[in-house]
Amino acid sequence: MAEIIKAPFGNTEHMSSRIIFGAAAFFVMRQEKADKILELLLQYGVNHIDVAASYGDAELRVGAWMPKYRDQFFLATKTGERTAKGAKESIQRSLERLQVEYVDLIQFHNLTDEEGWNTVFAPGGALEAAIEARNKGWVRFIGVTGHGTQTPHMHLRSLERFDFDSVLLPYNYMMMQNQSYADAFNKLIEICKKRNIAIQTIKGIARRRWKEDSNEKHFSWYEPIKDPEALRQAVQWVLSQPDVFLNTSSDTTLLPMILKAAQEFKDDIGHNEMAEVVKKIEMEPIFAEGLADPF
């Protein structure tokens, strides 16, 4: 089986699969089920895992793999703490839960609110703890993540304050129809390319927010695309932007389709194709001005 294409992950010198496994899927998953996911990741050549301290049991599920498979994955986690003391404790706890001596990337989780942003960069803020952790060899690189419509704007501000190694933010066809978001996203892309900063994207297969009368089982706070052809086009539309990586959905029932779509990626999916998908499955923005950004 052909593996998913790999690309340089910014300045890290790691060739990461362009599909990154989003371990939020392991929030409440049992280990035996998580282990089946590992088999699938290895089969497709996925070599990059993104988890977070706040993802329930996810670090524990990933940690169970690390004694045997640590050298096969670029391992990233996140801290939601904003002070140096809190972030240091969070990083140390993550190392214990992940059963590793270091993580490749520590990220400030959803750093998009003004108060939290100011705290992180102030004296005694979480940035100090991340730099200390890097100096001690607990982490190798430092990144920043965000959700919602203000994320690219805030990431641009963050990159003015510190030389981050990676950014993470929403990217899908519907988000890019928001002109303000698209302009800031494209500006961020250009800066990241110039500075060799890795760009991770989330919500690539989001269809819309759940309808109030939906009786489907929810594995994510938004409704993902489930139609196989529409999902294939959505994944390949993201990958047609050569400078980004796509983090998988927390709905692991869709993981095989996402991996297959990435494995088969050859041709660009353009505006016209995605416009047809929007009509076919009634896609809507999950992040928009005036709507609360839950995650």
**What would the DSSP string read from start to end of 99-162?**
T-S-EEEEEETT--SHHHHHHHHSTTBHHHHHHHHHHTTSEEEEEEE--STTHHHHHHHHHHHS
Measure the CA–CA gap between 170 and 206, rounded to whole angstroms: 10
pLDDT of residue 105: 98
Q: How do strand 222-224 and strand 245-247 relate by DSSP bridges?
A: unpaired
Q: What is the pLDDT of residue 290?
A: 58
* 10 backbone φψ class: left, alpha, beta (φ>0; ψ -120 to 50): left
For residue 83, list its beta bridge partners: 125
Tracing tokens 């609360």 back to the chain, one arrives at 292
> Token digits for 6?
């790999």
All domains in the chain, ordered by first residue:
6-281 (3.20.20.100)
Do 147 and 112 touch, CB atoms closer than 8 A? yes
pLDDT score at 253: 94
The pLDDT value recorded for residue 291 is 58
- C-alpha torsion angle, residues 120, 125, 129, 134 (rounded to 10): 50
Question: Comparing C-alpha atoms, which of 278, 224, 275 is closest to residue 254?
Answer: 224
d(CA 75, CA 126): 20
- Tell me the residue type at 178: N
**What pLDDT sits at residue 270?**
78
Unique residue bearing structure tokens 């993104």: 50
Single pTM value for the model: 0.95
Dihedral pair phi/psi, residue 13, rounded to 5°: 70, 10
Long-range own/partner contacts, residues 32-36 (CB < 8 A, 24 or more apart): 34/61, 34/62, 34/64, 35/64, 35/65
For the chain of 295 residues, list the mean pLDDT of each consecutive stretch of 10. Answer: 93 98 95 96 98 97 98 98 98 98 98 97 98 98 96 98 98 95 97 98 93 76 92 95 95 96 86 89 82 54
